[in-house]
Amino acid sequence: MAEPSSPAVWAAELQDIVDDVSGLLGAPAVLEDISFSLIAYSSQGSVDVDPVRAATILGKTATPAVRAWFEEQGIATATGPVRLPGDPEQRIAARFCLPARSADVTQGYLWVLESAGFDPARLALAEPLARRAGELLALRRRGVDEHQRLVGELLSGDEELASVARTALIARGELSAGWPLAVVVVRAAVLPVGKTVVTTVVSEFVIAADDPADPLGPALRRASRLVGEHGRAGIGTPRDNVRDLAAARHEADSAARVALARPQLEPVLNWAALGFYRIVGQGAAAVEALVAGTPAALLHSRADAELVRTALVYLDQAGHAARTAAALSVHRQTLYYRLEKIEQLCGVDLDQGEPRLQLHVGLALTEILPFLR
Rounded distance, CA 118 to CA 123, Å? Answer: 10
User: Of 35, 162, 57, which Cα lies nearest the Cα of 106?
Assistant: 35
pLDDT at 4 over 80: no
Look at residue 65 in the predicted model and tell me its pLDDT.
79
Rounded distance, CA 141 to CA 88, Å? Answer: 34
Which comes out higher in pLDDT, residue 47 or 258?
A: 258
pLDDT tens digit string along 45-72?
A: 655 556 666 655 555 556 777 888 889 9
**Could you give the 3-state DSSP secondary structure of residue 45?**
coil
As a whole number, the mean pLDDT across the chain is 88
Look at residue 161 in the predicted model and tell me its pLDDT.
95
Rounded distance, CA 9 to CA 109, Å? Answer: 20
Rounded distance, CA 163 to CA 151, Å? Answer: 11
Rounded distance, CA 66 to CA 348, Å? Answer: 52
pLDDT, average across residues 174-191 = 91
pLDDT tens digit string along 330-348?
A: 999 999 999 999 999 988 8
Q: What is the CA radius of gyration of the chain?
A: 26
pLDDT at 134 over 80: yes
CATH superfamily assigned to domain 7-139: GAF domain (3.30.450.40)
**Could you give the 3-state DSSP secondary structure of residue 84?**
strand
**Could you give the 3-state DSSP secondary structure of residue 202?**
strand
Look at residue 309 in the predicted model and tell me its pLDDT.
92
86-117 b/e (C-beta count within 10 Å ≥ 16 → b): beeeeebbebbbbbbbbeeebbbbbbbbebee
Look at residue 186 in the predicted model and tell me its pLDDT.
94
Ordered by start, the domain boundaries in the chain are 7-139, 178-281, 285-371
**Could you give the 3-state DSSP secondary structure of residue 184?**
strand
Q: Is the pTM of this model over 0.85?
A: no
pLDDT, average across residues 268-282 = 95
CATH of domain 285-371: 1.10.10.2840
Task: Give the percent of the chain with pLDDT over 70.
Answer: 92
Cβ neighbours for 295, distance < 8 A, ≥ 6 positions apart: 346, 347, 348, 355, 358, 359, 362
Look at residue 373 in the predicted model and tell me its pLDDT.
84
Look at residue 193 in the predicted model and tell me its pLDDT.
74
pLDDT at 9 over 90: no
